[in-house]
Amino acid sequence: MHFKLNIRRYSPISHFHKIVNIMRLSLVLCMLTIFCASATVSYSQVNEISLHLEDATLEQALEAIKQQSEYSFWYRNDEINLGRKVSVNINNQNIANVLDRLLATQGLAYTINEKHIVIYKTNEKASHPMITNNKKITGKVTDEKNEPIIGANVVVKGSTTGTITDMDGNFTLEVPDQATLLVSYIGYTPKEVAVKNQNNLSIMMIEDSKTIDEVVVIGYGSVKKSNLTGAVSSVKTTEIQQTPMTSIDQGLVGRASGVQVTQTSGMPGAVASIRVRGSSSLQGGNEPLYVIDGFPVYSGTGFGSTGGNTQISGLSTVNPSDIESIEILKDASATAIYGARAANGVVLITTKSGKKGRDIITFESSFGVQNVAKTIDVMNA
């Protein structure tokens, strides 16, 4: 048997040389880092600038700085008045001191980014904030019957500082001098109250008669909105009339909660698919019952000119400008009078009727252009 042993001889001298080489490399890297840092710091110190200008323009002053340094200036002509007269007398100052002396009286500020200087207009309001003295005030919000209003919003006008009233209608708030409070609550007319020198306020709110006395049409008549117990959504006709459309159902898109409107076809007169509180059947119809001035309107399936079945709506025959109000009945209590046909909800439409007074003539027109999404390439003759 033969064994071969590789025995390396240890040399302390070679090991010492390796350590020395590592130390040399580390020293070189440290020196390079120091030189780079000192070059960056001393750049603005070495480039000392002297300016001696009397009644010169701002443009001439900036040009003189550019000639004595390697800086370039960036600014907007509509913000900086380069023709404004300046007078400076500066000896051997760095760029920061020169710009501070030159731009401080002009309402201008600057930012230095390497060799680029951006000059911009300062916000004088931000640099001189208004000092105000806040004081703590208390108050109580009540209705016309002197009953406390719980949860009324009390906000300082023109700010985001505010609070709400507690169970007794009381509130506490810190406000600046001569502040104005905005008080609001659902069903009441918003009110502005000037604090002046008062520390304890008594605020009485008045019911909003327009909101409380608003009349809502339901299946068996009309009631005030304040007395309504069923789930009914009302759509403002002023919003619908501002939207160009060929059918009323197109104007209901996104205007009533719990009502989804989807356009199913591009055929003229085709009805949009309306779902009130979702679909209730997998095989049966899910369309709501349309009632115009007390008469149910047919909404079913017809044949288009290009073949195939298409949903046709009787609503397309009603002029949107003739509509007085639109109510959507959603729950069982509101739709009970119409029976099983109203299982998917009811859309009640009331048209305008003659009114006493002078004659009024209105004219509205709109047009639209539609293109075929994809045409079929045909052979020529």
- Chain segment 166-178, per-residue pLDDT in tens: 989 999 988 887 7
* Residue whose C-alpha is closest to residue 288's, from 220, 349, 238: 349
Q: Are residues 95 and 179 in the same domain?
A: no
**Does a structural domain hold residue 381?**
no
Query: DSSP secondary structure string, 311-360?
Result: EEEGGGGS-GGGEEEEEEE-SHHHHGGGGGGGTT-EEEEEE----SSS--
pLDDT at position 171: 92
- The answer to whether residue 192 scores a pLDDT higher than 80 is yes
Sign of CA dihedral 334, 335, 339, 340: negative
The SS3 of residue 31 is helix
Boundaries of domain holding 321: 215-351
pLDDT at position 141: 92
Domain boundary among 72, 92, 124: 124
224 - beta bridge partners?
215
Cβ-based neighbours of 364, under 8 Å, separated by 6 or more = 241, 321
pLDDT digits (tens, 9 = 90+) for 245-281: 767 777 777 777 788 887 777 666 566 777 887 777 7
**Does a structural domain hold residue 41?**
no
pLDDT at position 250: 73
**Does a structural domain hold residue 307?**
yes
pLDDT at position 300: 57
- The answer to whether residue 233 scores a pLDDT higher than 80 is no
CATH assignment of the domain containing 79: 3.55.50.30
Q: Are residues 227 and 175 in the same domain?
A: no
98 backbone dihedrals φ, ψ, rounded to 5°? -65, -45
Domain boundary among 124, 148, 179: 124
Q: Are residues 253 and 283 in the same domain?
A: yes
**Does a structural domain hold residue 18?**
no
Q: What is the mean pLDDT of the chain?
A: 74
**Does a structural domain hold residue 50?**
yes
- The Cα–Cα gap between 97 and 318 comes to 76
pLDDT at position 142: 92
**Does a structural domain hold residue 20?**
no
- The answer to whether residue 180 scores a pLDDT higher than 60 is yes
Q: Are residues 278 and 312 in the same domain?
A: yes
Number of domains comprising the chain: 3
pLDDT digits (tens, 9 = 90+) for 120-161: 887 644 344 444 567 889 999 999 889 999 888 898 887 778
Q: Are residues 177 and 223 in the same domain?
A: no
Average pLDDT over residues 332-357: 77
* Residue whose C-alpha is closest to residue 299's, from 246, 307, 291, 257: 291
pLDDT at position 4: 52
* Residue whose C-alpha is closest to residue 49's, from 61, 37, 36: 61
Q: Are residues 221 and 342 in the same domain?
A: yes
Strands 299-303 and 180-184: unpaired
**Does a structural domain hold residue 225?**
yes
Q: Are residues 220 and 296 in the same domain?
A: yes
Average pLDDT over residues 218-224: 55
Q: Are residues 201 and 219 in the same domain?
A: no
Total Cβ atoms within 10 A of residue 331: 15
Sign of CA dihedral 334, 338, 341, 346: negative
21 backbone dihedrals φ, ψ, rounded to 5°? -65, -40
Q: Are residues 253 and 303 in the same domain?
A: yes
